[in-house]
Structure formats: C-alpha cells, structure tokens
Homo-oligomer: A and B are copies of this chain.
C-alpha cells in the first residue's frame, strides 16, 4: 500500500528531543531520539530479546536501554550491552533507519538503506523559491489511507463544496485546469480569472474587487504536495508573472502512512508577505486548521465506507486528472519495489 524506498516525515524537528519518541510508520513501530550531538536516530521499536517497545526505556548517552532486561542498543542498532553475559551475542541488534533533518521536519527512509539518497528528500524550500517566507502548521492524525489525503489535495474543486464559507466558491469548480506530469512529479495549474475572491482571500488581500486567483499544485511521490496559492487584483499582471500587487501563500503538505488505514498528515501554510507578524502567522495557522477539520470529516467518512465494503470502487471524472496521475506514480513506485523484491 506504500512504497518503502522513500523519505517520510516522521515528525516536526521540535517534536524529537533528548527523549524517546514512538511513531508507527508504514505499519512499523519506530523509536526516534536525538543523540548527544543533536543528530536524530531511528530504531525499530521492539527489543531484539523479548520485543518490549524500546520507547518504554531510557537513553544512556547515545544508547537506548530497554526497560525490561537492560539491553542497550547504539544508534546504529547494535547491541552495546547485554546484562548477565560475558559476551554480547554478535547478532544482537535492532533495525536502524536512515534519518535526515530538513525544513523543520525529521525524515526517515523506510526501505533499503543503500538507496537512502538525501537528494531525494522533498525540497519544500525550493518549492517556495528560497527564503523570504514564514508560517506555521500542525499535524493531523487522520484515520484514513494516506492516498485519500493525496486525492483531496490534488483536486481543489472540493473547496467549493467542503469549504464554501472560507476558501471555496463556484469559480474553483468551474475554472479549467491543466496537468503536466512525468515520472517524478505532477503539476496541476488552475487560474480563476476576474473572479470574486472567497472570504479567506478577500481578508488576506485587504481590498475589495475581483481578483485573478491561482492554484498550482506540485505533487512529488509518494506523498508530498506543495500548493502555490494566491490572488491579485484583476489585471495587475499576476497571470503573466507579476504577483507584486497580490498575496501569495504556499500550502506545504506531506503525508506519512501510519497503518493501512491511518496516517500522519503534516501541513504548514507559509506566506511571503507581512513576514514579521506573529499574529498573522497564528491567525493563518488557526484559520487553515479549521478549514482542514472539514476535510477530516470527509476523508475519515470515506475510509469508513471502505472499511465496511472493501470492494467499493472509485470512479474518475475530469476533475480527478491530478489525483489519477499522482496515484499512478505511487503505484509505479510500489510495483518497482515488488519487482526488485521478487527478483532477489
């Protein structure tokens, strides 16, 4: 249901401290912690010996000590202490996972460690075109298959129906869009020209009158989506590249499968205006958080339908072009992994 050879966001940088942090990713229980150097380590969260979750234990320097019988494991997973024995069994170890820290997230590689290339970490900053942005976000523990969240973000016509009071109006569902896609990404671009802004964007722009509004959705498999959004007063040049009269945000999303039917959905809303206002940052985070609560209801309800009827099938319409391409890239990653595995 998910590729393993991928970087997944395990948590926000501030969540992982000099302490044991348990999180299940792709059906595997992991424990994360920071070493004395500040670097993050990730181990399988079950002692080699009797399977007690290591996260119930404690840190001793850079080692994790099991709470049950005192076995200690280094950050590379090797057993470094085996009480009541002269020798440590050389096979005693737990799996360790490649970890990296980038852009406020700690990322973990769930597959073959030899393939864990840091260049493959989703570059959220690049999506924003470098520095000069600020914002904040939250984590949603969604009781749903992570791909239902991907579907949701790849088709923003749902704003019209799910978020009618804030960011959605008729023009989102009615405006045409185009999709560009290759083996590494999907980009969906929608311009809503000369349209009344919905309440959220009217508030951000601080001006009455029609706007040119854009939504440019970048999908990077398996589950990172950056959405370039904004409005500018109609005819002030945004469509041809000059957004200077408008307001521009980036909705950054990365969704990490927890189990087959749950995920951790990390999101942030960043902007390149009014950068010094903590008040604005907080208002935007809370505002978007309330909007996303409406998505939780919808997506978790879909999951329940599938739980009670595993044969339920999706049908695709024109609006699903982005989601169809995104799911195709995910399926391809999984298929490639299965072929490699079968060949081994």
Contact = CB atoms under 8 A, between A and B. Distances in A.
Interface of A: 27, 29, 46, 48-53, 56, 65-70, 82-85, 89, 92, 151, 155, 157-158, 160-162, 173-174, 297-298, 301-302, 304-306, 308-309, 312, 314-319
Given A160-B83, A161-B66, A161-B69, A52 B301 contact: yes
A52 B316 CA distance: 14
Given A69-B319, A161-B67, A319-B69, A52 B298 contact: yes
A93 to B, nearest CB: 10
A50 B161 contact: no
A50 B49 CA distance: 45
Contacts of A68: 158, 161-162, 298
A317 B305 CA distance: 42
By Cβ-Cβ distance, the 9 closest A-B pairs, closest first, are A83-B173, A70-B161, A51-B305, A84-B319, A51-B312, A85-B318, A46-B305, A84-B173, A53-B301
Given A50-B302, A314-B49, A318-B84, A70 B160 contact: yes
Contact of A297 (B56, B65, B89, B317): B56
Nearest to A89: B317
A174 B298 contact: no
Nearest to A148: B50
B83 A319 contact: yes
A69 B315 contact: no
Given A157-B84, A173-B84, A302 B69 contact: no
Given A50-B151, A305-B53, A319-B83, A69 B297 contact: no
Contact of A315 (B27, B48, B66, B314): B48
Contact of A83 (B48, B89, B151, B174): B174
B317 A82 contact: yes
A260 to B, nearest CB: 12
Nearest to A160: B70
A55 to B, nearest CB: 9
Contact of A298 (B67, B297, B305): B67
Given A67-B162, A70-B161, A305-B29, A84 B52 contact: no
A19 B301 CA distance: 19
Nearest to A161: B70
Contacts of A51: 302, 305-306, 312, 314
Contacts of A302: 50-52
5 contacts: A49-B317, A51-B306, A56-B301, A69-B161, A70-B160
Contacts of A92: 315
Contacts of A309: 46
A151 B49 CA distance: 12
Contacts of A318: 84-85
Contacts of A48: 315
Given A157-B84, A306-B51, A312-B51, A70 B173 contact: yes
A48 B302 CA distance: 12
A307 to B, nearest CB: 11
Name, among A83, A155, A302, A304, the residue most crowded by chain B CB atoms within 10 Å (CB to CB): A83
